Amino acid sequence: MIIMKTDATPDDVRRVSAEVEACGLRAVIIRGDYQTVIGPVGDERRLDFDKLAALPGVKEAARVEAPYKLISREYARFFGEPGAHKTVAIGDVHVGNGEPVIIAGPCAVESRQQIMRMAEAVKAAGAQVLRGGVFKPRSSVHSFQGIGAAGVHDAEEALTWLKDAGKAFDLPVVTEVRGESMVELVAKHVDLMHIGARNMYDQDLLVQVAQQGKPVLLKRHFGASIEELLSFSEYIAAEGNKDIILCERGIVPVGKGKSYTRYTLDLAAVPVIHKETYLPVIVDPSHGTGRRDLIFDMSCAAIAAGADGLMIESHYNPAEALVDGAQMVTPDELKDIIEACRTLYRTKKSLARSAAA
């Protein structure tokens, strides 16, 4: 981080940026009201901070020892962020500005008719964003790979079904980008690009998705620490894209006995992430539990923990669903969950207000 003097000239700033770039890093210039800060992005071991500190107009040049800083609350003011909470827009829907945002829809897009029917149903239930996986990450090559997967159906047509369903019911849409080859095609058709838990560590995919200029939903890998989730979200921010929504979706259960849930939903991650970064964080109770009968309680718990939104899988006939039937709620159940969550959010807010008074 290179902090310029208040009277540094544009030439001073240019000289420092050129020095950073000559070392093979990118120089992000943040002009504040009183001061300009230059944030080098790349391998900082290549920089000689003593040399940078000695350049004209430089007040201070020092290495910031943190795996993530572009998205960190602590350094927010240096990188032009307000430092409070960032709001990320998915179309007209704003995540992180208070009211929790509900993303809902089937695990997988199964047909044009199915996603149209689900869009209508989740809209009526009160959801604001439509989800539906066109490409599914699966443990077995013999399982259904998603309607857009090679040899199943034309990928672009399947993406168009999702997009049309969203348009028909005024819902922005999100789908998972499973690999680099699909990035541009997916970006063309969705409002929010979803990087699934299995791909959280794929830095090349993260970079390519970040470059599409669309908001990104990054799900926590089931074996990842919170620090890793934040560090990998930094790859997206380093491309100049800070429209990032983080998602807690459960980590691998511990112990040898029956775990009763598909994953262990780590709800403490929500307030921890809020303290570490200004980025919004949502919770996915569907993959987090794998159980329809737990979605109501865990959705409420996520809202109580301060989540900026929820991602809930829903299907009009879960028993017939091609993927994840056991964890999908019906649209009626979804409606009850959304109503309860909104009431809970408002109650918590007024309790916090009276506690502060």
Q: Which residues bind Mn ion (CB under 5 A)?
A: 107, 324
Expressed in angstroms, the distance from the first to the final Cα of the chain is 39
Contact 33, 44 (CB under 8 A): no
Q: Which of 148, 196, 290, 331 binds ligand PEP (CB under 6 A)?
A: 196
Q: Which does 196 bind (CB under 5 to 8 A by kind): Mn ion, ligand PEP, none?
A: ligand PEP
Which residues inside 102-121 make contact with ligand PEP, applying CB under 6 A? 107
Q: Is the Cβ of residue 19 or residue 324 nearer to Mn ion in the bound state?
A: 324
Closer residue to ligand PEP (CB): 28 or 328:
328
Give me the least distance between CB of 24 and ligand PEP, in Å please: 34
Q: Would you say 69 and 42 are in contact if contact means Cβ atoms under 8 Å apart?
A: no
Rounded to a whole number of angstroms, the minimum distance from the CB of residue 332 to Mn ion is: 20
Q: Name residues whose C-beta falls within 8 Å of residue 237's C-beta, 6 or more positions apart in sequence.
A: 68, 70, 71, 210, 244
Total of chain residues touching ligand PEP, rule CB under 6 A: 10
Q: Which residue has the tokens 């943040």?
A: 30
13 or 107: whose CB is closer to ligand PEP?
107
Interaction residues for ligand PEP, span 323-352 (CB under 6 A)? none
Minimum CB–partner distance for residue 214 and Mn ion (Å) = 21
144 or 201, CB closer to Mn ion?
Answer: 144
Cβ distance to Mn ion smaller for residue 107 or 186:
107
Residue with the closest Cβ to Mn ion? 107
Site membership for ligand PEP, residue 176 (CB under 6 A)? yes
By rule CB under 6 A, what string of x and - marks binding of each residue 67-106 to ligand PEP? ----------------------------------------
Q: Which residue is at the shortest CB distance from ligand PEP?
A: 196
Among 262, 274, 287, 315, binds ligand PEP (CB under 6 A): 287
CB of 108 to Mn ion, least distance (A): 7
Binding partner of residue 206 among Mn ion, ligand PEP, none, CB under 5 to 8 Å per kind?
none
Q: Are 217 and 245 in contact (CB under 8 A)?
A: yes
CB 215 within 8 A of CB 239: no
Instruction: Please give the residues from 197 up to 226 whose contact with ligand PEP meets the rule CB under 6 A.
Output: 197, 219
Instruction: Quote the least distance from Cβ 259 to Mn ion, whole Å.
Output: 18
Q: Considering only residues 125-154, where is the footprint of ligand PEP by CB under 6 A?
A: 133, 137
* Residue of 69, 163, 249, 292 interacting with ligand PEP (CB under 6 A): 249
Nearest to 161, CA basis, from 123, 130, 126: 130
Binding site for ligand PEP (CB under 6 A): 107, 133, 137, 176, 196-197, 219, 249, 284, 287
